[in-house]
Amino acid sequence: MLIIPARAIADPNLLGRGFPPTPEGRDSWMRWRAVLKAMSGEPLNLLERSLFRAVAGRREEPARPVKFAWVIVGRRSARRQSAPRSPAPRRWATIASTCALAKRQRSSVWPMASNRPSSPSIISAAHSTPIRCWRRWWRGEYSLELNTEIEILVLANNYRSIRGRSILVAILDECCFWRSEESATPDIETYTALVPSLVTLPNSMLIGISSAYRKSGLMFEQYKQYFGVNDPDTLVIKDATREFNSTVPESFIQQELDRDPEAAAAEWLSEFRADLADYVQREVIEDAVDSDCRERPYHSGLRYVGFIDPSSGSGDSMTLAIAHKESGPDGQLVLDYVRERAPPFSPEDVVEEFCDTLKSYRIGRVTGDRYAGEWPREQFRKRNIAYQLSERPKTDIYRECLPLFNSAELDCSTTRVW
């Protein structure tokens, strides 16, 4: 049985009970319905097309179901005072996507949150839907198995535990806020692990839904690359709370903006925060990058210096950077070459490779930190490169480098990370 999501939320025999009109009889879910129809590749009428263009920034709606949908909306965008029990976006996205894609093929629907205990209500929402064709076989706190051979399974964002299954729908709940002790980039790691599981099922879909946060991470990268782009496989939706839920008082949102403009703009206006850069604002780095240059070759008239950040090959990456200073008293500092070798790797092989690169730039002495005692100096010395210990710790180097970025005294090539 094929059930189109936009029709499901309008039909009281399906999901419509959770999406009732306002007491005034107004359909406040019209914008969401337009988004759902666009995600499903359904044709839009004139009003829906106008609503879709306003939140997607693109003129053409997808002609077929998209593979990736990224929904960046303000807080309380899918709740209203007249229906306090209506499901939040992560719940109805799970249910509606399952309705649309359910076939008798063993597969999974995976809502994923920053931690597993935060989302058991998804199972309750799915279990309480009045869809007769969903005869429940088994229900647990975090899982629900249907007679369509589909299971809804709530998981935490652990990229190591999600491999090995066919996934019909994956929903990344509040992925702008994902943090993990196991990875510095849990959202990107999880996304990378999920995508191969979607390949073998037709019309499978990955949905990321979150309020905005910092200008970094998976959601921000997808927004930057695809918002307003007529891509057939990827759809990005972004708008403020009141555009989706007009019952949130505008006066309340204004009070929040007056109290904390940056935080409230992210929470209610879906604006990514510029005040949460980890070290330096992203725009400053991008202004310093020559986007047409991967690396700069050796030039005989320049004097080059190198810096090594060594590693054992099992935990952290090992990196090499080579730079020079342009001639003149106010010469610009130019980063010519950057390489990263991610673990696992043989430290001696990487030292050999980096030494060859240093020699190609006529560098006989490289600077590095005090990692692993004598080992780095011995390895580089064996290959006729002197390893000089940095006089300053990395924290001092970072601090002294920041004003150089902000004053545009640095120029970086877009060296590729390997």
Q: What is the pLDDT of residue 324?
A: 92
pLDDT in tens, 146-199: 665 666 666 666 666 666 677 777 888 888 887 655 555 678 888 888 888 788
Q: What is the pLDDT of residue 27?
A: 59
Whole-model pTM? 0.60
Enumerate residues 6+ apart whose C-beta is below 8 A from 92.
9, 15, 18, 19, 78, 125
- What's the rounded mean pLDDT across residues 381-389? 93
Domain boundaries, the chain: 5-269, 286-413
pLDDT in tens, 277-328: 556 666 677 777 777 788 899 999 899 999 999 888 876 789 999 999 888 7
What CATH number is given for 286-413 in this structure? 3.30.420.280
Find where tokens 């005090």 sit.
370
The 10 Å Cβ neighbour count of residue 262 is 13
Confidence of residue 238 (pLDDT cuts 50, 70, 90): very high
Specify the CATH class of 5-269 in words.
alpha beta
Confidence of residue 386 (pLDDT cuts 50, 70, 90): very high
103 pLDDT higher than 60: no
pLDDT in tens, 115-152: 554 444 555 555 555 554 444 444 455 566 666 566 66
- Where would I find the beta strands (DSSP E) of 234-381? 234-239, 289-290, 304-309, 318-325, 333-341, 365-368
Please say whether the beta carbons of 239 and 55 come within 8 A.
yes
Mean pLDDT of the chain: 76
pLDDT in tens, 241-274: 888 888 788 899 899 888 888 888 889 998 888 7
Helices 218-226 and 186-198, interaxial angle, to 10°? 60
- What's the rounded mean pLDDT across residues 336-354? 91
- The most confident of the ranges 16-25, 101-110, 183-192, 370-379 is 370-379
